[in-house]
Each structure stands twice: as C-alpha cells, then as structure tokens.
Amino acid sequence: MSETQILPFTVLVVEDNHDFAENLLTTLEMMGIQAHHADNAQDAIAFLNEHMPDLILLDLSLRGVSGWQVLECVQQKYGKHRVPVIVSTGKTDNMNRIVGRLQSVQSYLVKPFSTQDLFHAVNDVLELYKFA
C-alpha cells in the first residue's frame, strides 16, 4: 500500500507592498501553506489562468487595476463561491465592507493587522486547525 502525500493548501497573495507581502508569505508558510505572490493585477490574473488556489488574500489598492477588478475576474473564471477571498486593505470605509459582503468576501482585514488576525482569518476559511 502506497502512502498518499497530502499537499498543502495554496494561497495567492495579491499585494503590491513588497515588505508587507513578505510578512504575509512568511506567516502563511509557517502555517504550512504554500503561498504565491503577485504584486499586481496582471500577474494575479496570469496565475489564476494557470492555477486555482484554495484561497486568495487580496489587496484592494493595487496599482493600475483595483482588487475588486481582480475579484471580478476570479468570479468569472471560477464562479462566485468557488475560491474564497480575504480582503487585505487599508480602506476602512463601510462602503468597501458592504461591497465585500455583496461579493461574498470571506473576511475583511484592515491594515495593519496582526499575525494572529491573519492566522484566524485564514484558519476560519481553510479550517487548518480545530480548536476545542
């Protein structure tokens, strides 16, 4: 009988701030998650054309194209509920939160957020760890 290797979850981090992205990637990798980084919408869409991640961590304030437009591409390709999305943004206004709810965003993290906030948001979506 051969052993089956369990592949880690894959998360696409769409973030144009390289230092912040590096922190996100490090945290996700410490959680046992395979993390990929796209620093702009075009790279994110190119990745999504080749791979379907288990989760997208999406910045809204990208250069050139907004994160909402990336989300629209994801939903056109995979459907509205197929790939969960956690928004990561500096935008604190209620309008963006409402748009996020309407677009079935799983969680809305306002920068700067803690490693613990990221852990809980990702865990809530991927159910990596069960707490008693």
* Distance between CA atoms of residues 25 and 116, nearest Å: 14
Please compute the mean of the pLDDT values over residues 107-119 and round it to a whole number.
93
pLDDT at residue 2, rounded to an integer = 44
Topology classification of domain 10-30+40-124: Rossmann fold (3.40.50)
131 pLDDT band (50/70/90 cuts)?
Answer: low
Asked whether residue 122 carries a pLDDT value surpassing 90, the answer given is yes
> What DSSP string describes 42-67?
HHHHHHHHH---SEEEEES--SSS-H
Q: Which of 11, 14, 4, 23 is nearest to 51 (CA)?
A: 11
- % of the chain surpassing 90 pLDDT: 60
* Distance between CA atoms of residues 38 and 119, nearest Å: 20
Q: Which residue has the higher pLDDT, 114 or 101?
A: 114
Q: Which residue has the higher pLDDT, 96 or 57?
A: 57
- Domain segments of the chain: what residues? 10-30+40-124
Asked whether residue 6 carries a pLDDT value surpassing 60, the answer given is no
Q: Which residue has the higher pLDDT, 5 or 91?
A: 91
The length of the chain, given as a count of residues: 132
DSSP H/E element including 31: none
pLDDT at residue 1, rounded to an integer = 42
For the stretch 7-22, pLDDT in tens is: 589 999 999 999 999 9
* CB of 114 closer than 8 Å to CB of 27: no
